[in-house]
Structure 1
Amino acid sequence: MDHYIGIDVGTGSARACIINSAGDIVGEGSENIDRQDPEHGFHEQSTTNIWQSVCISVKDALKENNTDPGSIRGIGFDATCSLAVFHYETDEPVSVTYPDFKSEQNVILWLDQRPIEETMQINNTADPDLLRYVGSKMSPEMEICKVLWLKNHMPQEMFDKCSFYDLADALVHIAAGTEDKSFQIADRKSGSMPVGIDGSVKGWKENFLRAIGLGDLAQDGYKRIGGVNKSGEYRSAGELAGHLCEKAASDLGLPPGIPIGSGVIDAYAGWIGTVGAKVDLGPGHMIPDVPGNDEAQALTRLAAVAGTSTCHLALSPDQIFVDRIWGPFHDVVLPGYCITEGGQTATGELLRHVVENHPAYGQAKYSMGPGESIYDYLDGHLKDMMRGQNAPFISYLARHFSFYGDLYGNRSPVADPSMAGSVIGLTSDNSVDSLAIYYYATLEFIALQTKHIVETMSQAGHRLKSIFMSGSQCKNEILVALIASACNRPVVIPKYVDSAVCHGSAMMGAKAASATEDGRGEKLWDIMNRMSKPGRSVMPTQDARQKSLLEAKYRIFLEQCNTQQKYRKSIDEVVNNWA
């Protein structure tokens, strides 16, 4: 039987899954990735360490069911939207660690917040027409902001030798071992590098680079960022990008020559592994007169790919510009379609931070049962509290407690990296009951912010009738129900809830394996339709009382957001007048 490998490089680990021709996962492997945090807000990794983790995860996946390496027909890669830096002439990794730039770390992680000033500079000087493609404001998460930070802090002679890759493209480059530099960031249209999608043949506008202080990257035909794109075309997800080279094949324990698909950021692989789930949601949640899992139905499905952060992806046949939402990006996942990307900078990470930093965390850990996670324990504790207080639903327990949780800044739809957190209803209670309420309020914040993103996209013209959600957070029944009820849309969970991103990458491997002489091959949606499995749905609450309470909490959520900006502006005006 033919098999395909999907490789997902996330924030904390590299994962591999092997699927058969029917889309069944037959083997999985995972290996942690080292991360260095040299300063607050600085987060770095090493492509050498990442590749080692990739190799271990692939070998473990092959071993799980003794899959014959000779049966692997295609490989797909996805990775976080992180910036990887190499020496242009030698392909050796180049350190990104300030101030001496002598470490082994050559990756600035997506969540790294070091380029705040550079981001402000870009937003103040860049072409407004170009910035429309990032919701009118770039984010410090984006790679071009990190490139400018390196320009401003790295020795000039060192910076002049750097070439810059999107991490997914760097992995494809390592795997293919090609001298072709076309996998670099000039060839991307993902949320990590949303520039060059305005119809320009080169992919980058020279006047944009000069305006922001990176005009030297335009020299020698843009060679350090991928070169001139003479065709004006870009590879969509999984389109043939190369073949596995001898060295990488030896590292992975695979035969050389296996087709490799064009890589994408992890959220987009999650879209591929999520929105194809087969669930009949009935009238009102689908496009009338269109078959149930037709490609057109994808236009009504918002993909919420939840992990450390959460990305919200919506497909459209035409350009839909949404203020402070990234995109539209052309042909990223499906040729002929645009994709728009909203997102929450921290969801899984936010939950971890809130729970582990509460005074009662240690007491809750001590009370957990065998094999029980802290979140399972808190879910049970909330249900016990609800019964003990004769509350009609869990939301009632936190009716006077509102947590606004942008502790890591706001990606969208506020697009303000200076956003922080706030609490209404804080008391001196340090008990496990208090921890449970704080935990629930964090879940509520995640759901209400999802509503904020969904409403912003919908008001701009997206027809979002359902939310297809994947990631470990889908196991949290309280969160999923909150998202469905707050957004008033059914939430669909795919079969491979924990492996949707990896499963999507494996389907990109199948796409690469299907490549014909023209490089196209089988349509990715047809592969998704064939290999995706039935999922399950969670419907919004029908309890009018809970609906009205969530609506009231949403109004408070918006006021907390707007008031924080108002107060910050008021203080900044005072401080700025000191001069």
Structure 2
Amino acid sequence: MPIVQNRSFNSNPYNLSLKNLKQLQAGATGSEKEVYYVGVDVGTGSARAAVVDQMGSILGLSERPITRHELKASYITQSSTEIWDAICYCVKTSISQSHVDPSLVLGIGFDATCSLVAINEKTNDPMAVGPDFSDNLENIILWMDHRAQKEVDEINATGDGCLKYVGGTMSIEMELPKMKWLKNNLPLDRATGESLFKQCKFFDLGDWLTFRATDKETRSFCSTVCKQGFVPEGILPDGRTGWSEEFLNKIDVPELAEDNFRRLGGLTGKTGKWLSAGETVGQLSEAAAEELGLTTDCYVSSAVIDAYAGWIGTAAAQTEIPIPELVEQDATKPGIAKSSGRLAAVAGTSTCHIILNEDPIFVPGVWGPYRDVGARGYWMAEGGQSCTGALLAHVLSTHPAYTELGVASEASSLSRFDFLNSRLETLKKTRKERSVVALAKDLFFYGDFHGNRSPIADPRMKASITGQSMDVSLDALAIQYLGACEFIGQQTRQIVEQMTKAGYEIHAIFMSGGQCRNGLLMRLLADCTGLPIVIPRYIDASVVFGAAILELNCHCSGW
């Protein structure tokens, strides 16, 4: 199957009209003017910001690393203070690079990993989440933290109706198990003698960013529906909507239901507000505007989880070269519905496989279907691999030939992956094999080092490698790396097969992330799935680009 380079980005994925765009640019003066948008992406290892014009061109891009701590196995934390500081640096730097007047930045959009933020509900100061409960700066439980195994088992044992809409069982990577763990483990306040849990307020990281930017506690459907058990109106047959007091009592966290669910953002339609992707939260607060180097005339859109921003920045785009499988669909479906046959594979530390549909489709071992998280009235599902980029990094860094690889790749002026891909081509010729894949015929590599997200949905899964010898050469490393790439490709095929068996029509895979540069991996994905692989124009910036596009939709949707 082909690998298509997508160089023609559609900066208007929600099908907004040119008239609307011109009205937006004209503003109150009645004359057209240039306006710009900022996208902010917080990934597992870094924060990024990009300045985008209304044609979808990135004018400035900045990135800053963020740290994560693992003081105890499976306990992985971050700091919201460090992340906000990194965002402010990146926004200011990208504005400086773009030479854009900050007063012309009309909006800012945020995406982030689906990680849990704990703050003091009275002071908004960070609250420690352990294992070192004396360090309040470490107040984020990262998505890949696996401490809450007992808690997630207890949640899933209830068989509650809301679990049907998170893939049948709640994942250990989701946020409600983490909240339940904090209920069970946070120490007592020395002054009052009550659990510090009762002093906490909880946010998904993306929602905390919009709160930090606007002082508004508006929550997103994307975070709460996908990761916290929130159910939009009109879905459950028993009439429940939003948060379920019955469910929270059942899993022994009644504190989360107190005062109309105030610790979770309130009661839908009464004390709380929920928005879909790209809808308007409000203007930047004075404090946030100053910290970001922007103005209070800059609007903030509802945040999305980082993988969903990757879907917006790729699957909602138009391709430079028409893909036959998509031509008929693109001609007959309006607006965002065009993306319903496109599977976005957002690849980083892990890979998320996201697809949109007009009707709910239930897939065993695949999260969702989620309504309203990407667009009102549409449903989305999310498969995934818990470690892909992390898997390749682990395979390389733990091999005895890793240092030799670094020296050899640097001497060749190639990345480690490009060097290994070239090495495999050479081995194919010297060993007279019919293909590169044949080099690994004696190796079985099963790579679920961090559990299985889809389609088995078992966080206890472990890796297995059969066929290893005592060979510690660079060639042996290359073949083991090939085995890891094959595993990623074949597990992607397994996820695609589960989705299509359940009723999804998938015509192409739209990739994003640095893995797009790995030609071997892209060919394996195409061969294993039998689908065209579409590579984005901005390989390293599709997610932050998607966050900026959210903001364009935020403004135009009101016309």
Aligned runs of 1:379-418 on 2, under 5 Å?
379-418=421-460
State the partner residue of 2:152. 119
Aligned runs of 1:457-472 on 2, under 5 Å?
457-472=499-514
Give, in whole Å, the separation in 1 of the partners of 2:326 and 2:213.
Answer: 41
Give, in whole Å, the separation in 1 of the partners of 2:505 and 2:43.
Answer: 30
State the partner residue of 1:277. 317
1:221 aligns with 2:253: no
Post-superposition shift, 1:511? 1.6
Give, in whole Å, the separation in 2 of the partners of 1:201 and 1:70.
Answer: 44
1:496 aligns with 2:535: no
Q: 1:144 to 1:320 in 2, by over 3 A?
A: same
Secondary structure of 2:48's counterpart equals: strand
Equivalent pair of 1:4/1:509 in contact (CA under 8 Å): yes
Post-superposition shift, 1:323? 1.1
Equivalent pair of 1:186/1:203 in contact (CA under 8 Å): no
Query: Which residue type is aligned with residue 492 of structure 2?
Result: T
State the partner residue of 1:573. none
Structure 2 spans left out of the alignment, 5+ residues: 1-33, 188-193
Aligned runs of 1:112-511 on 2, under 5 Å?
112-127=145-160, 129-155=161-187, 156-178=194-216, 181-183=217-219, 188-197=223-232, 198-199=235-236, 202-230=241-269, 234-279=274-319, 280-287=321-328, 290=331, 295-368=336-409, 369=411, 371-511=413-553
Equivalent pair of 1:7/1:78 in contact (CA under 8 Å): yes
Post-superposition shift, 1:286? 4.5
Post-superposition shift, 1:114? 0.6
State the partner residue of 1:42. 75
Secondary structure of 1:175's counterpart equals: helix
Give, in whole Å, the separation in 2 of the partners of 1:71 and 1:252.
Answer: 14
Give, in whole Å, the separation in 1 of the partners of 2:299 and 2:554.
Answer: 6
Secondary structure of 1:100's counterpart equals: coil
Alignment TM-score, normalising by the size of structure 1: 0.86
Equivalent pair of 1:82/1:192 in contact (CA under 8 Å): no
Give, in whole Å, the separation in 2 of the partners of 1:133 and 1:17.
Answer: 34
Q: 1:311 to 1:104 in 2, by over 3 A?
A: same
Give, in whole Å, the separation in 2 of the partners of 1:505 and 1:289.
Answer: 23
Post-superposition shift, 1:65? 2.6
**Aligned CA-pair RMSD:** 1.8
Alignment TM-score, normalising by the size of structure 2: 0.88
Give, in whole Å, the separation in 2 of the partners of 1:186 and 1:494.
Answer: 26
Post-superposition shift, 1:292? 8.8
Q: Which moved more, 1:34-43 or 1:366-375?
A: 366-375
Aligned runs of 1:41-120 on 2, under 5 Å?
41-120=74-153
Give, in whole Å, the separation in 1 of the partners of 2:518 and 2:456.
Answer: 26
CA deviations on 1:171-218 (whole Å, 9 max, x unpaired) are 00000023xx332x7884453224324455651111111111112211
Number of aligned residue pairs: give it. 513
Equivalent pair of 2:221/2:276 in contact (CA under 8 Å): no
State the partner residue of 2:37. 4
Post-superposition shift, 1:512? 2.1
Query: Which residue type is aligned with residue 191 of structure 1?
Result: C
Secondary structure of 2:70's counterpart equals: coil
Give, in whole Å, the separation in 2 of the partners of 1:329 and 1:515.
Answer: 22
Give, in whole Å, the separation in 1 of the partners of 2:273 and 2:211.
Answer: 19
Give, in whole Å, the separation in 1 of the partners of 2:240 and 2:53.
Answer: 39
Give, in whole Å, the separation in 2 of the partners of 1:202 and 1:415.
Answer: 26
Q: 1:432 to 1:243 in 2, by over 3 A?
A: same
Secondary structure of 2:296's counterpart equals: coil
Secondary structure of 1:435's counterpart equals: helix
Give, in whole Å, the separation in 1 of the partners of 2:121 and 2:511.
Answer: 39
**Bigger RCO of structures 1 and 2 (CA < 8 A, at least 6 apart):** 2
State the partner residue of 1:568. none
Q: 1:233 to 1:54 in 2, by over 3 A?
A: closer
State the partner residue of 1:18. 51
Secondary structure of 2:524's counterpart equals: helix
Post-superposition shift, 1:242? 1.3
Percent identity reads 41
CA deviations on 1:303-341 (whole Å, 9 max, x unpaired) are 000001000001110111111111111111122210000
